[in-house]
Chains A and B, each alone.
Chain A
Amino acid sequence: MDPVRYVDLLNQRYKAQGFPPYQWTENEPGALTPLTKPLGECRVSMLTSGGVSHCSMPVWDAEARNDFRLDEVDPSAAAPDFTVNDSYYDTSDAASDVNTVFPIDRLRELDAEGFIGSIAPRLWSGFMGRIYKRSHVTNVAAPALAEELHDDDVDLFLLVPA
């Protein structure tokens, strides 16, 4: 199946509903920092934006807008202990196996076999739902998360959109 042109489809959908053209954000690429060590020596962290919550935390608001809550996730947490709440995509597969949007078991396996050096002490769940406050993401929320990653000596950060 050919790739889905989601932006084109959404533009058509919004136009059909009588809305003016949506002002899409066009971001410049983030800085590319070359690795200074082999992948097998890198500490890896990961974030899902798929509305994934551990059972020790409240579930996410499936209709969330501008929700800047950010959950720390214990990398040893068991996969069945997560819940998925997000109305903006079909969560049925993620609900039956959270690894489809947050491959925590797979990350542990790659760590065990030495494909990566280690898993960071914290994984993350956040930036889910609809976020319209672009400047807050750029100027506040993302830099704050970057500081946390720096504190954990993270070499690689994997962003997993839903």
Chain B
Amino acid sequence: MCPPRSLFVNYPMGNPFGPPNMADVQRDLLRTALQTVEQITVPGQIVDYDGEWPRDFADKVTASLLNM
């Protein structure tokens, strides 16, 4: 799908709102996602979230791909 506004979050599948039980991170992500409504003016535009997953998550990628 191609929604009119998107926030790209470079976190593993299963963690679009970050790690579990980290309310501050989740809240910042939600605020940022909602603010794209006021930032994006071109349909389909994607804004990158300025956050880093704390470690390499290649293992999670492999696990997800094996089920696809």
B17 touches A101 (CB 8 A): yes
- How far is the CB of B17 from the nearest CB of chain A, in Å? 5
Number of interface residues of A (CB under 8 A): 46
- For the residues of B in contact with A, the DSSP-based class is loop
Chain B CB within 8 A of A96 CB: yes
Q: B interface, how many residues as a size bin?
A: 35 or more
A-B contact pairs, 12 of them (CB 8 A): A1-B10, A27-B1, A32-B4, A35-B37, A39-B34, A88-B68, A89-B14, A101-B15, A105-B23, A106-B27, A159-B1, A160-B16
Interface residues of A (CB under 8 A from B): 1, 3-4, 6, 9-10, 13, 27-33, 35, 39, 42, 44, 50, 87-94, 96-97, 99-101, 103, 105-107, 109-110, 115-116, 156, 158-162
Interface residues of B (CB under 8 A from A): 1-5, 8, 10, 12-21, 23, 26-27, 29-31, 33-35, 37-38, 40-44, 52-53, 56-58, 60-61, 63-65, 67-68
